Chain A
């Protein structure tokens, strides 16, 4: 009996250790993508996306991501944030006093996911220089053009033009961006393209121009916007279509119907009340 108990105990313990070993081996691979993005409101942010390999790579929601600013000697924790359903987390870094700058004005960030019992840890480093992108509109005679100026913000906020930077020009549509050209900045940091005067704008002819430096190795993604009424004004014609089964009848019709029917039903109720009174007046 004692031997039987001993074998069961050993067997059970062996099972526990074996299970633990299996779970350690089964941790899933994770990947972290980090992007520096400066939007048209000059808001600087780090966007981290965490994905994990299930059958294919899928966003990992609810994971804790740590953002550090690093230099050769130090590492400062900026913030800890949890990923959303898309596996994304955004850290706004404007005027953060904890950020280190090297002598040439480069910021280096380390982004880290610590992992857990199911997912492996992962970390990424990204270094960027701060830059500005400004958009202007020029008209000379009948020629209209869009110009951008790209400049680097060095230590002590020293501004220097960036030469040879690829800038893309877009028109903002309702749902997407329409690519209208690409140009390289000159020695003054300027790039210019002709304004597409044939494009339809809104009812006042206003067109929104978006210029971007996209995923640059040194400057990340920077976006700037401007708008001007150089487009062709569009007359909006609201097309109304109504069918029998449609459920978009004008509200005044619905209210009229409800009021009319309510009036009729009120009278029905009153008549029923009269019938009750007839019974009571016997």
Chain B
């Protein structure tokens, strides 16, 4: 495939990074691997000894695994939404961030559901889900929706990568296996008109499909809580609340990922402050929306004074229980990003990234607060008053598996970046190139004028 100078320069820049790894890179990779292996050890302990090694008991049957699941699915949603919408709207500045968003979607959709498996007591019966699953059950709907979403996200990312894969196919790598894989994945793309037309059509379809699909997936997840008659869960606004919270946290993760890649892959000329500013403003708007939903949710529960709702609220507002977590999740994690991004003086790349970290952590805590205090408030009085039955406390095993999930997320992201350029190399021709159009029109006008002048001159000569 023929590349222009700029694309060739970008290709050389990224391929150099793809085939090498720095010493610090190896150390970072080793640290991530240690965490992942730690998680593997925790998983083996959990399988051998059973769920007694977790903090989950008869009463609090869900713990941080489910919080992690919602968190990762939320992140994935933001990736799909941002890349889908920006693609459909043909937003010019999207190019450097769109692939990071797409990779976030896939990696988090892979890791998130794994936490559901960690919650299950009998993993040896996992295949029963496929063999005996019934379409009438909402749990199966969630499985189908997430699987469909994952496959859609993979197709979307693949389509968006085809142009780059074709460029990489023709690049002279030392390792020939790379060329073989790129050749297979590039499906003989050589940038001709027909291929571009088909590819753009496929990308448009997937962009349009992935947005409602992501909303649906996260809504189904929210309805699992919303349709359960438990205080703190049984809410009509849970689906949009979850969707907004998901995009909020996902945008935060996208900003963090942009900051990390910009810094360590030296992408300052690709990912600029303008990208952070745009995404920061998006984060601020989503933060305001999220704050509105949070306020609405807790206000109606509190004002209604329903006994069991109040039990949960008392827990959240009690300084000896969850007040400080709640304060961080509902106030600090929302207000701080809004203030920092709202005031132009504070709006720098580092400050936007810092408040994104706070927002992401706050959103994780929020997921924890959705699950645990509600389960600690049973609808019937407890018969057995052992402390671990009343209060959930995550164990070391659960923390290990949580951190290993985050490490795995970073690790897969890192591996992706070693296989595909983290920023698209080849830009697609979208719509009309007005500069080219103007140039063509001007050329035609000049030609016509020249022709007319020549004709006039020749007429003059003939006349003479």
Which chain A residues (150-203) contact chain B, with CB distance < 8 Å? none
CB neighbours of A243 from chain B (8 A) = 228
B195 in contact with A264 (CB, 8 Å): no
Q: How many residues in B have their beta carbons less than 8 Å from beta carbons of A?
A: 34
CA distance A142 to B134 in the complex (A): 56
Q: Which of A221-259 contact B (CB under 8 A)?
A: 242-249, 254, 257-258
Q: How far is the CA of A112 from the CA of B188 in the complex (A)?
A: 88
B187 touches A279 (CB 8 A): yes
**Stretch with Cβ within 8 A of B (4 or more), from A84-92, A115-123, A266-274:** A266-274
A281 at the interface (CB under 8 A from B): yes
- B141, B151, B189: the one contacting A257 at CB < 8 Å is B141
8 Å CB interface, B119-161 against A: 134-139, 141, 144-145, 148, 151-152, 155, 159
A256 to chain B, nearest CB (A): 10
Is residue A77 within 8 Å, beta carbon to beta carbon, of the partner chain? Answer: no
B155 & A254 in contact (Cβ 8 Å cutoff): no
Q: Is the CB of A271 within 8 A of B136?
A: no
Kindly state whether residue B24 has any CB partner on chain A within 8 Å.
no
Q: What residue in chain B is nearest A281 (Cβ atoms)?
A: B194
**Shortest distance between the CB of A134 and any CB in chain B (Å):** 49
Chain A residues whose CB sits within 8 angstroms of the CB of B134 once the complex forms: 247
Choose among A260, A275, A281, A282 the residue that contacts B216 (Cβ–Cβ < 8 A). Answer: A260
Task: Say whether B190 faces chain A, with CB atoms less than 8 Å apart.
Answer: yes
Contacts of A246 in B (CB 8 A): 136-138
Q: Smallest distance from the beta carbon of A222 to chain B beta carbons, Å?
A: 48
**Interface presence of B213 (CB below 8 A):** yes
Interface membership of B16, Cβ < 8 A? no
Residues of chain B within 8 A (CB-CB) of A242 are 227
A138 within 8 A of B: no
Q: Mark B202-245, 1 if CB is under 8 A from A, else 0.
A: 10011001000100100000001001100000000000000000
* A residues in contact with B228, CB < 8 Å: 243-244
Interface size on A, residues (CB 8 A): 27
Given contacts A247-B136, A278-B199, A281-B195, contact A264 B148 (CB under 8 A): yes
Bound CA–CA A247/B199 (angstroms): 41
Q: Does B198 contact A (CB under 8 A)?
A: yes
Contact B136 A254 (CB under 8 A): yes
Beta-carbon contact of B213 and A244 below 8 Å: no
A244 touches B135 (CB 8 A): no
Residues from chain A with Cβ under 8 Å of B137 in the complex: 244-247, 249
Output the nearest chain B residue to A263 by Cβ-Cβ distance.
B209
- Asked if residues A267 and B209 are in contact (CB atoms below 8 Å), the reply is yes
Interface: B448 (CB within 8 A): no
Interface assignment of A277: CB less than 8 Å from any CB of chain B: yes
Interface centre among A244, A261, A271, A272 (most CB of B within 10 A): A271
Residue numbers in A under 8 Å from B199 (CB-CB): 274, 278
In the assembly, what is the distance between CA of A247 and CA of B140, in Å?
Answer: 10
State whether the Cβ of B162 lies closer than 8 Å to any Cβ in chain A: yes
B447 within 8 A of A: no
Chain B residue at minimal CB-CB distance from A248: B136
Which residues on the B side are within 8 Å of A12 (C-beta)? Answer: none
Residues A282 and B188 in contact, CB atoms below 8 Å apart = yes
Query: Is B213 a contact of A278 with CB atoms below 8 Å?
Result: no
Chain B residues in 8 Å Cβ range of A272: 155
- Any chain B CB within 8 A of the CB of A265? yes
Q: Is B269 an interface residue (CB 8 A)?
A: no
Given known A-B contacts A247-B137, A249-B138, A281-B195, A271 and B190 have beta carbons under 8 A apart: no
What residues of B have a CB within 8 angstroms of the CB of A254 in the complex? 135-136
B456 an interface residue at 8 Å Cβ cutoff? Answer: no
CA distance A249 to B134 in the complex (A): 11
Q: Is B192 an interface residue, CB under 8 A from the partner?
A: yes
Known contacts A271-B206, A274-B199, A281-B194; A264 and B152 CB within 8 A of each other? yes
With CB as the reference atom, state the residue of chain B lying closest to A246: B137
Q: Is the CB of A267 within 8 A of B205?
A: yes
CB-based nearest A residue for B206: A271
In the complex, B454 has a CB within 8 A of chain A: no
- Shortest B302–chain A CB gap in Å is 27
* Residue B201 at the chain A interface, CB threshold 8 Å: yes
CB A202 to nearest CB in B, in angstroms, measures 30
**Is the beta-carbon distance between B202 and A258 smaller than 8 angstroms?**
no
Give bound CA distance, A271 to B151, whole Å.
12
Interface string of A102-138 (1 = CB under 8 A from B): 0000000000000000000000000000000000000
| Residues of the A chain whose Cβ atoms lie less than 8 Å from the Cβ of B201 | 274
Task: Tell whether, in the assembled complex, residue B162 and residue A278 are in contact, meaning their CB atoms are under 8 Å apart.
Answer: yes
- Is B189 a contact partner of A278 (Cβ separation < 8 A)? yes
Q: Which residue of B lies closest to A276 (CB)?
A: B187
Measured between beta carbons, the chain B residues less than 8 angstroms from A247 are 134, 136-137
Q: Give min CB distance, B52 to chain A, whole Å.
A: 23
Whole-angstrom CA separation of A279 from B166 in the bound complex:
12
CB proximity of B113 to chain A, nearest CB, Å: 16
Interface pair A278/B136, CB less than 8 Å apart = no
Establish whether residues B138 and A274, one from each chain, have CB atoms under 8 Å apart when the complex forms.
no
In the complex, the answer to whether A271 meets B138 with C-beta atoms within 8 Å is no
- Report the Cα distance A270→B198, complex, angstroms: 11
The residue on B at minimum CB distance from A260 is B216
B190 touching A282, Cβ below 8 Å: yes
Residues in B neighbouring A282, C-beta threshold 8 A: 188-190, 192, 195
Are the CB atoms of B198 and A278 closer together than 8 Å? yes
Across the interface, do B136 and A265 meet the contact criterion of CB distance under 8 Å?
no
Contacts of A261 in B (CB 8 A): 144-145, 148
Query: Which one of A248, A258, A274 has the greatest number of beta carbons of chain B within 10 Å?
Result: A274
Closest Cβ–Cβ distance, residue A268 to chain B (whole Å):
6
A264-B152, A278-B189, A279-B187 known; A244+B195 contact, CB < 8 A:
no
Q: Contacts A258-B135, A278-B199 known; A268 to B155 CB distance under 8 Å?
A: yes
For the complex, what is the distance from the CA of A281 to the CA of B189, rounded to whole Å? 8
For A242, the closest partner residue in chain B by CB is B227
Separation in Å of the B324 CB from the closest CB of chain A?
31
> Given A264-B209, A278-B162 in contact, is the A271-B155 Cβ separation under 8 Å?
yes
Given A242-B227, A254-B135, the answer on whether A278 and B188 have CB atoms closer than 8 Å is yes
Q: How far is the CB of B185 from chain A (nearest CB, A)?
A: 10
From known contacts A274-B198, A277-B198, A279-B188, infer whether A249 and B227 are also in contact, taking CB-CB under 8 Å.
no
10 A-B residue pairings within 8 Å (CB atoms): A249-B138, A257-B141, A257-B144, A268-B209, A275-B159, A275-B162, A277-B194, A278-B187, A279-B188, A281-B192
Q: Can you list the 5 inter-chain pairs with the closest CB atoms, starting with the nearest?
A: A282-B188, A274-B202, A281-B194, A279-B187, A247-B136
5 further A-B contacts with Cβ under 8 Å, apart from A244-B137, A275-B162, A278-B189, are A264-B152, A265-B148, A271-B206, A278-B162, A282-B195
